[in-house]
Amino acid sequence: MPEGDVVRLTAERLGAALTGAPLVRAELRWPSAAGAVLDGASVTSSAAYGKHLLTRLDDGRTLHTHLRMDGTWHVHRTGTRDAAARAPDVRAVLATASWTCLGRSLGMLDLVPTREEGRLLAHLGPDVLGDGFLDAGLADGVRRLTAQGARPLAESLLDQRPVAGLGTIWTAETLFALRVWPWTPTDTLDAAALGRVLATAHRLMARSVQVGRARGLQAVERAVHGRARRPCRRCATTIAVGRAGRPPYDRPGYWCPGCQRPPAAA
C-alpha cells in the first residue's frame, strides 16, 4: 500500500499537472460520483493528508481519493494514446488542454464540498508529514499512541488513528533505526520514547520525499523492509519477517532479531 511519502509526491505531481487550467475532460467512473460534472472547473490545489489525496476545485468541491493497495495516479500528455483512458481499471480522468491524469485501481473516491473535507479525515491522527508535525502534531501523536495501551507498537503505528501516513515500510524502517522490537507493548514506552519514534518516522519519510522529488518515487534504499533472509547491514543477523498486527493490520513486518530484541532480552 502506498504510504504517506508516495501519496505526498503523487499530490505534488497532480498539482503541477492540473492547477490553474480548466478541466476539458473529467470522468469519475465510480458509482456514487458517476454523474458529477467537473468540466470547466479548475484545480486550485492537490494536497495529501496521511494516505489520502485531496484535489480541490475552484467551484468549492474536493475530489477525495485513496490508493489503498493497488491504486495509482498517472500523468500523460493530453491527446496521446496513453491519455485515452480505455483501460478497465481507470476510475478517474482529470484533463486540461495539456495534461491528463488517470486514477487507476483507486480504492476510494468521494466528491464532497471542500468545507466538508474535515468530516472525511476526522478519524485520522496527525499527518506524520504535515506542516508543523514536530511541534503540535508530535505531541498529539504521542498522546494518541499512549492511549493504545498494551497493543504492539507496530500495530499502533499501522493504525491511522494515532498518526496518519505510516505503513509497513516506514513502520519497519523506523523501528529498525531505533532498535525497537516491533511487538513492544505501546504502553511500556514513555512519552519521550514515543516522541523519538514519531520524530524518526517523520525524518525518514521527509527524506524519502526529498529524494523522490529528485529521483522518482520510492527511490530511497530500505535498510530492513523487503530484505527477509538477507543479512542485517548492522549486525549480519538474518532479517526476519513476521505479522505486524491483527486484521485489518495483519501485514508483514520486517525486523532484525539481533538488533531489535524483546525488552526482556535487551
Catalytic residue IDs: 2-3, 51, 251
Is residue 74 packed enough to be buried (19+ CB in 10 Å), middle (13-18) or exposed (0-12)?
Answer: middle
- Residue 127, SS3 per DSSP: strand
Report strand pairing: 251-255 vs 99-104. Answer: unpaired
Strand ranges in 29-71 using DSSP code E only, listed in sequence order = 43-49, 52-57, 61-66
Contacts of 125 (CB under 8 A, 6+ apart): 50, 140, 141, 144, 160, 161, 162, 163, 164
Residue of 186, 49, 18, 172 whose CA lies nearest to 119: 49
Distance CA 107, CA 214 (A): 28
- Determine contact, residues 137/220, Cβ cutoff 8 Å: no
